Amino acid sequence: MSSSALRHTALDALHRSLGATMTDFAGWDMPLRYGSERDEHNAVRTKAGLFDLSHMGEITVTGPRAADLLNHALVGNIASVGVGRARYTMICREDGGILDDLIVYRLAESEFLVVANASNAQVVLDALTERAAGFDAEVRDDRDAYALIAVQGPESPGILASLTDADLEGLKYYAGLPGTVAGVPALIARTGYTGEDGFELFVKPEHAVELWQALAKAGEGVGLVPCGLSCRDTLRLEAGMPLYGHELSTSLTPFDAGLGRVVKFEKEGDFVGRAALAEAAERAAQNPPRVLVGLVAEGRRVPRAGYPVVAGGQVIGEVTSGAPSPTLGKPIAMAYVDAAHAAPGTPGVGVDIRGTHEPYEVVALPFYKRRK
Amino acid sequence: MSNPQQLRYSKEHEWLSAAEDGVATVGITEFAANALGDVVYAQLPDVGSEVAAGETCGELESTKSVSDLYSPVSGEVVEINEDVVNDPSLVNSAPFEGGWLFKVRIAEEPADLLSADEYAAHTAG
Q: What are residue A260's phi and psi, to 5 degrees? A: -60, -20
Searching chain B, which residue's CA lies closest to the CA of residue A36? B38
Residues of A in contact with B64 (CB under 8 A): 32, 37, 230, 323
* pLDDT score for B94: 96
DSSP state of A80: G
Query: Which amino acid type is present at position A41?
Result: H
- Please say if the pLDDT value at position A3 is more than 80: no
- Give B101's contacts (C-beta < 8 A, 6+ positions apart): B26, B27, B28, B42, B44, B58, B69, B80, B81, B84, B91
* pLDDT score for A250: 98
- The pLDDT of A232-257, averaged and rounded, is 97
pLDDT tens digits, A262-320: 999 999 889 999 999 999 999 999 999 999 999 999 888 999 999 999 999 999 999 99
Q: Mind listing the domains of chain A with CATH numbers? A: 11-51+146-239 (3.30.1360.120), 290-371 (2.40.30.110)
Pairing of strands A48-52, A224-227: parallel
- Please say if the pLDDT value at position A353 is more than 80: yes
* pLDDT score for A7: 96
pLDDT tier at A18, thresholds 50, 70, 90: very high
Query: Is the ipTM value over 0.85, yes or no?
Result: no
- The pLDDT of A65-86, averaged and rounded, is 97
Which residues of B sit within 8 Å Cβ distance of A?
34, 37-38, 40-41, 43, 61, 63-64, 66, 89, 92
- The pLDDT of A130-152, averaged and rounded, is 98
Pick the CATH number of B7-108 from 3.40.50.1100, 3.30.1360.170, 2.40.50.100, 3.20.20.80: 2.40.50.100
Question: Sheet harboring A224-227: ordered strands across?
Answer: A176-181, A184-189, A198-203, A147-152, A48-52, A224-227
Each domain of chain B, given as residue ranges in start order, spans 7-108
How far A234 CA lies from chain B's nearest CA (Å)? Answer: 9
* pLDDT score for A147: 98
Instruction: List the alpha helices (DSSP H) in A149-240.
Output: 156-161, 208-219, 229-238
- Please say if the pLDDT value at position B106 is more than 80: yes
Longest distance between any two alpha carbons in chain A, whole Å = 61
Query: Which amino acid type is present at position A302?
Result: V
Which residue of B37, B61, B66 is in closest CB contact with A37?
Answer: B37
pLDDT tier at B77, thresholds 50, 70, 90: very high
pLDDT tens digits, A220-231: 999 999 999 999
Do B41 and B61 meet the contact criterion of CB atoms below 8 Å apart?
yes
Decide if A230 and B61 are in contact by the 8 Å CB cutoff.
no
* pLDDT score for B65: 83
Chain-wide mean pLDDT for chain A? 96
* pLDDT score for A1: 47
Do A31 and A225 meet the contact criterion of CB atoms below 8 Å apart?
no
pTM of the full structure: 0.90
The span from the CA of B101 to the CA of B15, in Å, is: 10
Percentage of chain A lying above the pLDDT 70 cut: 99
